[in-house]
Chains A and B, each alone.
Chain A
Amino acid sequence: MAEISLTVNGERTAAQVDPRTLLSDFLRDGLNLTGTHVGCEHGYCGACTVLVDGASARSCLMLAIQADARSVETVESLSVNGAGLHPIQQAFKDCHGLQCGFCTPGLLMSVVELAATNPDCGRDEIREHLSGNVCRCTGYHHIVDAVERALNGVPGRADDS
């Protein structure tokens, strides 16, 4: 076992971990942050995507111990129960950008990074950039609507009545 101390969603956290513990398992089982989902454990599906020092990373392809002294953000950092949704979350809700919700947390974290580094994307570029987050439910169209809306405030599609 080894001692690690890191910042998770803005809070300093210290823990004992077996070095082989995956960051995804540490977040889910160690910190009870079950919003980070695990869909493949070999880097392809993107469900486990979190931000490490602000950059997206597959938490299934990182050891928890590698996150020692780093800052990790998960979907739980975006908004808290009771308060309003983060604008990206709100755009997903408005545009029906999720169905079963399993891919959603990882996707949201990728969009947070996209918004920070490539905010001027069109629909095709959004599709290119987010191709590492697989969604099996939505067929992506509504996700692209949501991301477009989140990136530039242009109404992707929100005909809620």
Chain B
Amino acid sequence: MTADQAPRYFGARVSRRQDDRLLRGAGRYVADINPAGVLAAKFVRSHQAHASVTSIDIDAAGASEGVRTVFVGGDFADHEIRCVSSYAAFQESAQPILAVDRVRHVGEALAMVVAEDEYLAEDASELVVADLEPLPAAVDIDAALDVGCAPLHPGWRHNAFVRRQVKTYGFDDASSSAPHRVSIELHNGRHSGIPMENRACVAEHDPGTGQFRLHTTTQIPHLVRAGLSWALGVPESLIQVIAPDVGGGFGVKAQLYREEVACCLAARQLGRPVKWVEDRREHFVAAHHSREHRHKVTGYFDDEGTILALEADIAVDMGAYSVFPWTATMDGGMAMGILPGPYRIREYSVASTSVCTNKTPYGAYRGVARPAACFSIERLMDQIARHLGVDRVEIRNRNLLTGGDYPWRSPSGLVYDSGSLIESLEAVVDLADLEGLLKCQADARAAGRLVGVGLAVFTEQTAHTTQEFKQRGVPIVFGYETAKVRLDASGTAVVSASIHDHGQGLETTLAQIAADRLGLALEQVRVTYGDTEQVAYGAGTFASRSAVLAGGAVTKAADAVADTLREVAAHILEAAPEDMVVESGRVSVAGSPSRFIETSELCRLIYQRPERLPEGVEPHLEASRTYDAHPGTGAYTNAAHLASVEIDPLTGKTRVLSYAVVEDCGPMINPTIVEGQIFGGVAQGIGTALFEEFLYDEAGQPLSTTFADYLVPVMSDIPDFRVAHLQTPSPHTIGGLKGMGEGGAIAPGAVIASAVEDALSHLGAVIVDRLPLTPERVLGYIDAANSSGASA
């Protein structure tokens, strides 16, 4: 295809390539994989939040029926997962594979039973007796930072992994001279992605070659390989990581986990494959948590509501260990960077503390810190609007970046490339019929009902690469992705990529791109991913990057292959290569469509009739390319969300009545898939807003360890959505693409809090400052509104 030809599949709502197999139950997930002789692993986990390990008695377990062996910490003591940030004064922690002398959270593994099947392994696991000497547990941010709290890791001075502070030069002047200020403190509940598939892995080791093969539920196969290489002390060439079909990730599966290391070590030691399938109770305490931020924010503004300066103090409860590959600084750092959001804020002072506590370690979850940052800045905008008596849409319009502001260097140093903020806000007001909603609200109020409308607008930094991650201090800088494109002798293509598809539809969207570039039908392109042997390197699927980066790499690789087609076709057709058109299954001469050769025929010739190739052309139709969206600061998607809610005044239960999204992620490869990503994200965000929370008691015991206690939204909790798109291309990326996988999940907390506050606004003034908005909390806000209204 050349630039002037219209793309055939790009932008089309084609249905997904993987659907048939998944619908027939023929997907192949890790739990479905059973190599010959496979053994089952079961981990024995700590019931104490913080304790010294005095002894572990494994005799009875070892003698239990079907048990091959029981491993304890000492068996794997030469291995650990360590992820060190390059930030100054970062305090390191090492995750032992199995606890050696200390446990630091409920759910930390103490022993690993390997038996003939899962039932027998679980039987034996109950016979392991661990003698634990309890230590005082630090179960929240303040308790952990208290000077009286003993440091949780050896050699530490206090319980912060790191503290960071940034201030613009003009902040002090701008804040001290501002006529108004508003301060709020905001709390986000601890929760996580909760994919429907729990984690699982199958480790195999070939004693002859020394090679490991690990099938695992991961979003980041190459990074898992890198981490395993460090943890096992084995070169990457001896490790193959395969992520087959994966049942949802959402960030939870974007870490190297101790269980993966343990299974590899056990497989090597026992000479048989070792399989571990996590159960849901383990998932709640051992798969990484996320989201628990506390922000104190102050906005300084003038009489018009223009923000003059922003101040923030961020604390994140990172749990017990720094995780690979993110370190324990990711959320705190990301929140510092993105908190000013979509607004023209120039002066900024921010401090961020990543706190170590006796909770499950903290990793990624869709949106990473942005939901909390959006919650803070949008709650602040609402308070400023209220302080000045200005409408919530208007206050935003006065502060949002406009076309002329781009590229915008934020006060935290991010470079926003492009966007359509005011337009998206305007569009969502129409799409949601704000006027109609407000009329309904007035009618509802007259009838004694509590109905509110909320909104939020945000930018989503996507496809950020080298430049961004260099600054984040992570040990591996996640830059490029890799794609390999091969045409075979029958003229069909295989595209292999370093990203992973666990629902995002990349198996389809990458095929759409490749089919267009190679002039093939979609059915002639097969996309594979999730196998470290297929492409050299890459980071994987997270941070709304895959369509942009893998899409770019596929474009480059496919174009390279198409160049070979052009060159050979030109030779055969006796024309110039630059006049060749690769389209509709043939290569033809521009302007004389009757002079062509079928692509399949051309491919056959190239492989099977090398004597007909022009001088210097190799019989090879394969290219591997990487793509890093230069300059690596990210392509900025933006969106505006608007929702209405109704609150039961007697019980505080909040229902989302309507939800509308206008999103601008640049040109869309497949709008249906984009919409599916938005809807899925918003539903998770509604979970953040209303339902989900890992609760702990004072001793650090988790209280949410089944689906009866940890509430994910079910079908009746989620409304129908309305969605519309704007398409502002990024100046930085191939095709102008922007990422969008996380966006849906970013705003709902802010939107619904805004709506709940609005629903109570006629009763009295309250600030909705804590998520999730459980019925009990909402009743508290209703009471507070009533009493403030009564006293006003």
Contacts and interface: CB of A to CB of B under 8 A. Distances in A.
On whether A and B touch (CB less than 8 Å), the answer reads: yes
Interface of A: 18, 20-21, 25, 28-29, 33-42, 44-45, 47, 74-76, 78-81, 85, 89, 92-94, 96, 98-105, 108, 123-124, 126-128, 130-144, 159-161
A140 B676 contact: no
Nearest to B9: A161
Given A36-B25, A81-B24, A160-B14, A136 B194 contact: yes
Interface stretch (B294-302, B351-359, B442-450, B707-715): B707-715
25 contacts: A35-B27, A40-B706, A41-B280, A42-B707, A42-B708, A44-B708, A81-B26, A85-B23, A93-B19, A96-B673, A99-B676, A100-B503, A101-B23, A101-B247, A103-B196, A128-B715, A130-B715, A131-B716, A136-B194, A137-B676, A137-B680, A138-B676, A144-B720, A160-B15, A161-B12
Given A100-B249, A135-B715, 20 more contacts: A18-B119, A28-B31, A35-B25, A45-B196, A75-B23, A75-B24, A79-B23, A80-B24, A81-B26, A89-B23, A96-B676, A101-B247, A123-B720, A128-B715, A130-B715, A134-B196, A137-B503, A138-B676, A142-B679, A143-B715
Nearest to A143: B715
Contacts of B119: 18, 20-21
B672 interface: yes
Contacts of A74: 25
A151 to B, nearest CB: 14
A38 B199 CA distance: 11
Nearest to B712: A134
Q: Output the residue of B280, B503, B714 with the most chain A CB within 10 A.
A: B714
Q: Output the residue of A36, A143, A161 with the most chain B CB within 10 A.
A: A161
Contacts of B249: 100
Q: Output the residue of B28, B196, B198, B250 with the most chain A CB within 10 A.
A: B196
Given A42-B706, A141-B720, A35 B714 contact: no
B595 interface: no
Contacts of A81: 24, 26
Interface in B658-702: 672-673, 675-676, 678-684
A131 B706 CA distance: 17
Interface string B414-457: 00000000000000000000000000000000000000000000
A39 B280 contact: yes
Contacts of A47: 196
B683 A139 contact: yes
Nearest to A129: B715
B68 interface: no
Contact of A101 (B22, B675, B681): B22
Contacts of A124: 716
A101 B707 CA distance: 20
B787 interface: no
Contacts of A139: 676, 678-684, 718, 721, 744
Contacts of A130: 715
B236 to A, nearest CB: 28
Contacts of B14: 160-161
A100 B20 contact: no
B695 to A, nearest CB: 17
Given A100-B196, A102-B29, A102-B248, A141 B721 contact: yes
Given A42-B280, A76-B24, A101-B18, A136 B195 contact: yes
A82 B718 CA distance: 36
Contacts of A126: 715
